[in-house]
Amino acid sequence: MPLLVIGLNHTTAPVSIRERLTFGPDIIVAALRSLTEIAGVHEAVILSTCNRTEIYCVTTEDNDRNIITWFSKFHGLSEDQIRDHLYIHG
């Protein structure tokens, strides 16, 4: 199963975007549960610091679009607001 990484950091996104896309300790469990409910996502890890947020997923499907949609909706932003700031590997 492929590993997919989607994230942003201090070189790809301004602080105003990074602040809105963090996962604090109060929401991380709900975020992981919600993320693993996406079809094809079997395992997930979220790394969120002051300088970067990265989502690592073990997936059996080409899920980058679905995960970007989830990421933006989870934080109440549109995909257009975050798409240009993301990097995708996998």
Q: Quick one: DSSP state of residue 24?
A: -
The H or E element containing residue 53 is strand 52-59
Catalytic residue among 1, 15, 50, 88: 50
First to last CA, the chain: 11
Taking the CA of residue 59 as centre, how many other CA atoms within 13 Å lie in the half-sphere pointing to its CB? 25
Residue 57 annotated as catalytic: no
Asked if residues 68 and 80 have their Cβ atoms less than 8 Å apart, the reply is no
Active site residues: 50
